Amino acid sequence: MYTIRPAEKADAARCAAIYAPYTEGAITYEHPAPDAAEIARRMEEVTAAYPWLVCERDGEVIGYAYAHRFRERMAFDWTVEMSIYLDRDALGGGIGTALYSALIELLAALGYVNAIGTVATPNPPSERLHEKCGFERLFCAERIGWKMGKWRDMTYYMLRLNPPEGDPAPARLYPELDAGYVARVCAKHAAAIREARHD
């Protein structure tokens, strides 16, 4: 049974455990891995303005996705950056697509215009995920990061969430979204996982 829901502080330890293996490789440029307390701090900071979602399988968190500010200048108020991490045994079967799609729908409802995805490349699963979710590949910043004794590339993707027309209204804060609406969006995309996996 798969569910998608807003993250809670109690999920921080599980999210930290999911993220930690990625810090040992080149998928993320962060190292060392943050502990549960740091993830809880980040979660609190993020959810004051942006969604942070988790996906559960039979009650256990197996992945999470969240958005955060893209750049500090006011001109970027309508652009967010997205991140997603799945437990290694949860890769494939539409879990990442459903989780990312739920996050995208909430961000569009908040009034954001652009979503940015950054992928340390090569990373075929993440590249396919962004393409499947409708992101356009913008460019590859070659040899932009140094990790594990090698210069690494970063590829930037962008998804248009709302039309960039006229004088945009300020994007709303995530806590302003109706909780019932958030639950319906999450349930809809969780159902897509069950359909894809036939369970």
Q: What percent of the chain has pLDDT over 70?
A: 97
pLDDT in tens, 74-128: 999 999 999 999 998 888 889 999 999 999 999 999 999 999 999 999 999 999 9
pLDDT in tens, 46-86: 999 999 999 999 999 999 999 999 999 999 999 999 999 99
For residue 6, is pLDDT > 80? Answer: yes
Spell out the SS3 assignment of 145-197: EEECCEEEEEEEEEEECCCCCCCCCCCCCHHHCCHHHHHHHHHHHHHHHHHHH
List residues bridging with 56 in a β-sheet: 3, 61
Buried b (16+ CB within 10 A) or exposed e, 116-138: bbbbbbebeebbebbeebebeee
For residue 197, is pLDDT > 80? Answer: no
State the DSSP code for 89.
Answer: G
pLDDT in tens, 146-178: 999 999 999 999 999 999 999 999 999 999 999
